[in-house]
Amino acid sequence: MESDKSQNRVWDKKQITLGILGLGVVGSGTVRLLMENAAEIERKIGLPIVIKKIAVRNLDKPRDVVVDRALLTNDPCEVIDDPDIDIVCELIGGVEPARGYVLRALKNGKQIVTANKEMIAKEGQSLMEEASRRGLDLQFEGSVAGGIPIIQPMKNALAGNRIEQVMGIINGTTNYILTKMTREGADFGEVLKEAQAHGYAETDPTSDIEGFDAQYKIAILASIAFTCRVPVNEVYCEGITGIAAQDIAYADELGYVIKLLGVAKRTADENRVEVRVHPTLLPKTHPLAFANDVYNAVQVKGSAVGDVVFYGRGAGSGPTGSAVVGDIMDVCRNLRYGATGRISCTCFERRSIVPMDEVITRHYIRMVVKDQPRVMATISKIFGDYEINIASMVQKETFGTETDIIWLMHETPGKSVSGALAIIRDLPIVVEVSNWIRVVD
């Protein structure tokens, strides 16, 4: 592969020129911040940032930010191939054509800033390796947790630590829905419609509510934390569509809240790591339990620093635009002093992802059973046969001839629980196994 380290020289221009791909929610926030804070940004980096061209799909679409129409083009190549543009900021989202645009821009010697979580999760390693070969920057702070600084702190401030675990609420839509369900006792479908009406959920909310958005983000964080490639398709992903109002209420009675968590942790085997996304019962006293509504929170456990929690708005025009502008400014400083490409791809270890059925956690199980003798004894014996240690069992209100039973289990591999439940579901005394949710203490 050809190599081009020519970018590593002291800057001799009077400005730094920026080209932007996309002027949607994040693009508008980025441009607005660059314009409103232009003087202060110039003082901080020592040179003005000039936006030369913005590529958009529709030239006539109304924008959330006022820009000179002469800056707009519907041809991305006018940004990517312009020899006067120093930094290309990719804010269109998705894997293609974004990946192709970024790769072409790198081959043209452009520094890259992106907020594209899906592209980074799926193609980030190859793109970062390409940037490294050419001595170029590829920054992506805006791809995870919106305005919360998390990627740069992990790559810089916490770099001296051995990161043991990263766990977080990294999707604002699902956090808003679960918060409303908790506060109002409402059903999932009802709250989802309200979230869509307020603009907190997309018309097609699949990526959020099925956990895919969080899956991309935890894959990115895990790859940084454990210095290895994390194939996103190997990350276990379970969304919140199965969470019912009863689960929220019962969790509350037991001293827990339910959150959609992304979890990445080391194991005793150095060659394996856990990376997963699923609904989780969190104790009400847990640091992440206090993140409500559209807010995100990420807890990082380092060998030297211990637990560090990052909290703030995880999405939106302003917060994500803030992260993007921070990256742009960092690249500008690197350009000025010939220091681009300082932090290249750190995925230099080979580790495998632990299958979910081997992951050991505590468990919450809700089932509806017939209200008759020896039901508890029969079900308890099956759990015992699978070496599942019961922490507590609560029988809830009886409805006619049926009743809800809530089980809390001690730490057990997932395959033991799934094996036991497969048998329990077929018992004539069991109406249904209504839910199975993992528990973090």
Window from 23-27, 70-74, 200-204 with minimum mean pLDDT: 200-204
Q: What is the pLDDT, as a whole number, of residue 345?
A: 81
pLDDT class for 11, splitting at 50, 70, 90? confident
Q: Where are the domains of the chain?
A: 16-146+318-336, 151-314, 358-439
Average pLDDT over residues 68-79: 96
Q: What is the pLDDT, as a whole number, of residue 9?
A: 62
pLDDT class for 8, splitting at 50, 70, 90? low
Q: What is the pLDDT of residues 269-305, one digit of tens each?
A: 999 999 999 999 999 999 999 999 999 999 999 999 9
How does strand 16-21 pair with strand 49-55?
A: parallel
- Catalytic residue of the set 53, 110, 180, 217: 217
Q: How far is CA 183 from the centre of its chain?
A: 24
N-to-C CA span, the chain? 49
pLDDT class for 419, splitting at 50, 70, 90? very high
Average pLDDT over residues 167-189: 95
Q: What is the pLDDT of residues 122-162, one digit of tens each?
A: 999 999 999 999 999 999 999 999 899 999 999 999 999 99
Q: How far apart are CA 79 and CA 59, in angstroms?
A: 15
pLDDT at 238 over 80: yes
Residue 191 CB burial class (10 angstroms; 0-12, 13-18, ≥19)? buried
Q: What is the pLDDT of residues 389-409, one digit of tens each?
A: 999 999 987 777 899 999 999
Q: What is the pLDDT, as a whole number, of residue 347?
A: 83
Q: Judge: domain 16-146+318-336, CATH 1.10.3720.10.
A: no
pLDDT at 17 over 70: yes
Q: What is the pLDDT of residues 195-218, one digit of tens each?
A: 888 888 888 999 999 999 999 999
pLDDT at 13 over 80: yes
pLDDT class for 7, splitting at 50, 70, 90? very low
- Closest among 243, 232, 324, 318 to 278, alpha carbons compared: 243
Q: Judge: domain 151-314, CATH 3.90.1150.10.
A: no
pLDDT class for 315, splitting at 50, 70, 90? confident
217 is catalytic: yes
Q: What is the 3-state secondary structure (H, E, C) of the chain?
A: CCCCCCCCCECCCCCEEEEEECCCHHHHHHHHHHHHCHHHHHHHHCCCEEEEEEECCCCCCCCCCCCCHHHEECCCHHHHCCCCCCEEEECCCCCCCHHHHHHHHHHCCCEEEECCHHHHHHHHHHHHHHHHHCCCCEECHHHCCCCCCCHHHHHCCCCCCCEEEEEEECCHHHHHHHHHHHHHCCCHHHHHHHHHHCCCCCCCCHHHHCCHHHHHHHHHHHHHHCCECCCHHHCEECCCCCCCHHHHHHHHHCCEEEEEEEEEEECCCCCEEEEEEEEEEEECCCHHHHCCCCEEEEEEEECCCEEEEEEEECCCHHHHHHHHHHHHHHHHHHHHECCCCCCCCCCCECCEECCHHHCEEEEEEEEEEECCCCHHHHHHHHHHHCCCCEEEEEEEEEECCEEEEEEEEEEEEHHHHHHHHHHHCCCCCEEEEEEEEEECC
pLDDT at 240 over 80: yes
pLDDT at 50 over 90: yes
Q: What is the pLDDT, as a whole number, of residue 1?
A: 41
Q: What is the pLDDT, as a whole number, of residue 6?
A: 45
Q: What is the pLDDT of residues 328-381, one digit of tens each?
A: 999 999 999 999 988 878 888 889 999 999 999 999 999 999 988 899 999 999
> Which of the pair, 346 or 91, is modelled with greater confidence?
91
pLDDT at 261 over 90: yes
Residue 275 CB burial class (10 angstroms; 0-12, 13-18, ≥19)? buried
> Percent of the chain, pLDDT > 90?
88
The class that CATH gives domain 358-439 is alpha beta
